[in-house]
Structure 1
Amino acid sequence: AVDAGLGELGRNGLLLTEKYGPRVRLSKVFTDLPLEPDEPIDLGAQHFCETCGKCADHCPGNALLKGDRTDQPIDVSTNPGLLKWPVNVEGCLSWWYKSGTTGCTNCIRSCSYNKPAGFMHAIVRGIIKRTSLFDGPLLKADDIMGYGKQVLHESPSEKSVGKNR
């Protein structure tokens, strides 16, 4: 999807698109039609993810890397050779199982690219696409506006002893 120019790979391991952010589902269509290949695009999302890290901060399974991108695998589910923030999918699925949920989606909800269409968000995405100089201030503005606030999930161990928050 990245090589096809649909978006960029975010810290959360998801495709970030210009219009829908991480809120996309991918599918495949097989054809023998001759098609022109598209080129990868630069939305500025990966540069913004380097500053942001909200998805990693809000991940209750600690499945998202908080540091720099790497081309090294972190477990058997991570392919080597591609510079990215690898996702610990075993940690993510383990948290789902232990917490009794079907997924928390914090990595989608907390993502700064998860914004509705609108004039101001279009301006911000345009700025991010052209320069990374304002990533820090834009991230602070995102926090001030209350975007990405999360419900605190109980850890599986807290559930088992009945603690409330």
Structure 2
Amino acid sequence: MSDQATTGRRDRRRYTPKPEIVSLLKVSGNPVNGLGEKDIRRPSPHFWHPPDLHPWGELQLVARTNSRKCPGSAEAFAAAYERRELLPVATQRNAAPAAELSAAATQFALAHEADDVGIAAMDPLYVFEGYRIDEPWVIVLALAHDYERLKQVPSDETNGAGVCDVGDQYARGTRASYALANWIRSQGYNAHPYPGPSADALLLIPPAIASGLGELGKHGSIISRHFGSGVRLAAVTTDMPLTPTGPDRFGADDFCQTCQICTRECPPGAIVEQKQMVRGVERWYVDFDKCIPYFAEAASCGICIAVCPWTRPRVRPKLLATMARRLDQATSHPGASELSAPALES
């Protein structure tokens, strides 16, 4: 067995895209995503929307085809597209108070494959341009990766463990979101599920952050205090009266300011060291034009979330404790504590 197989570490050398891949990147994705824009606006449809809504349909097909070459991947992602039929909305409504309904919905979701649950009020900025969502609430579901499988990314035709775990979590998200939507409908309220891996009307990361499921990481994905970056998202929108759970600041964003691990490990060099202005908000942003060609050619990726120190089960508790102390010091004595990344142990 090779060293790569025993350590779970795949080939992560620096990457130069093939000319045929570059030719499929017909339009830069960074302006479409709003990079450099100072005005706040809704997001535009992106790479994982239906190909008639963006200019990267051929590249999307390459990405799907290459990922399905990995052993077990086709079956894993097929399960993510097995959608249940939505039940009709019950004629009699459960008139319990919002707090009680929120607790019941959360309990149901956790009992039906979700690993964490957050609730946020709907914001028009969560909805992609060209789409419409009428429900005033969004329930976001977190689905945790299996770290031992995830850390084997990027996948290839000899080892599909990493990409199969991605497909498995999306499949859990599909089952969990449809189950929750049907439960809410049985209570007499409208509900619509929004699972991955394909994109739909709802942007998932912003309501996940607003509802307390995590903070945005330098790699552009959410970092959860419970699962690190190894988490996928699904959601349900509804008109059931709910109470929001609120954001959770535990130090991930501060840690990312000085941590360089995902920046160094990204083969195409798509992760930059500073926040950038994106649709009127200064935040972390991953270079679309560098990331997506590698993603398509390498049978998906996931390296940045796998190497993130927050994703490592034995490291995460130490980080939480360290960043809690530093956040407390910064609050008690502004300017007295420098929130730099602490030294890590394996």
> How far is 1:94 from its partner?
0.9
Contact between 2:270 and 2:286, CA under 8 Å: does it hold in 1? yes
Equivalent residue, structure 2, for 1:161 = none
Q: How many residues align?
A: 130
Distance 1:32 1:19, change over 3 A: same
Equivalent residue, structure 1, for 2:21 = none
Larger radius of gyration: 2
Match of 1:104 among 301, 315, 319: 301
Equivalent residue, structure 1, for 2:326 = 131
Contact between 1:128 and 1:134, CA under 8 Å: does it hold in 2? no
Distance 1:134 1:65, change over 3 A: same
**What's the CA shift string for 1:2-37, capped at 9, x where partnerless?**
111111000010110001011111111122211111
Normalising by structure 2, report the TM-score: 0.35
Normalising by structure 1, report the TM-score: 0.70
Equivalent residue, structure 1, for 2:275 = 69
Separation in structure 2 between the aligned mates of residue 113 and residue 36 of structure 1, nearest angstrom: 29
Equivalent residue, structure 1, for 2:251 = 44
Equivalent residue, structure 1, for 2:204 = none
Equivalent residue, structure 1, for 2:213 = 6
> How far is 1:110 from its partner?
1.5
Equivalent residue, structure 2, for 1:76 = none
**Residue aligned with 1:19, SS:** coil
**What's the CA shift string for 1:105-135, capped at 9, x where partnerless?**
220122110121x5x6424312213316586
Contact between 2:228 and 2:316, CA under 8 Å: does it hold in 1? no
Equivalent residue, structure 1, for 2:290 = 91
Distance 1:129 1:56, change over 3 A: same
Distance 1:88 1:19, change over 3 A: same
Separation in structure 2 between the aligned mates of residue 11 and residue 108 of structure 1, nearest angstrom: 10
Contact between 1:44 and 1:130, CA under 8 Å: does it hold in 2? no
Q: Whose strand fraction is larger, Structure 1's or Structure 2's?
A: 2
Contact between 1:64 and 1:88, CA under 8 Å: does it hold in 2? yes
What one-letter code is carried by the residue in structure 2 that aligns with 1:111?
A: C
Deviates more, 1:41-50 or 1:123-132: 123-132
> How far is 1:63 from its partner?
1.2
Separation in structure 1 between the aligned mates of residue 222 and residue 258 of structure 2, nearest angstrom: 18
Unpaired runs of 5+ residues, structure 1, are 74-79, 147-165
> How far is 1:57 from its partner?
1.2
Contact between 1:62 and 1:91, CA under 8 Å: does it hold in 2? yes
Unpaired runs of 5+ residues, structure 2, are 1-207, 328-336
Equivalent residue, structure 2, for 1:27 = 234
Separation in structure 1 between the aligned mates of residue 268 and residue 308 of structure 2, nearest angstrom: 16
Separation in structure 1 between the aligned mates of residue 300 and residue 258 of structure 2, nearest angstrom: 25
Distance 1:81 1:106, change over 3 A: same
Distance 1:123 1:134, change over 3 A: farther
Separation in structure 2 between the aligned mates of residue 27 and residue 108 of structure 1, nearest angstrom: 17
How many percent of aligned residue pairs carry the same amino acid? 30
Distance 1:62 1:2, change over 3 A: same
- Runs of 4 or more, structure 1, over 4 Å off, are 132-137
Give the RMSD, CA atoms, in angstroms. 2.1
Contact between 2:256 and 2:341, CA under 8 Å: does it hold in 1? no
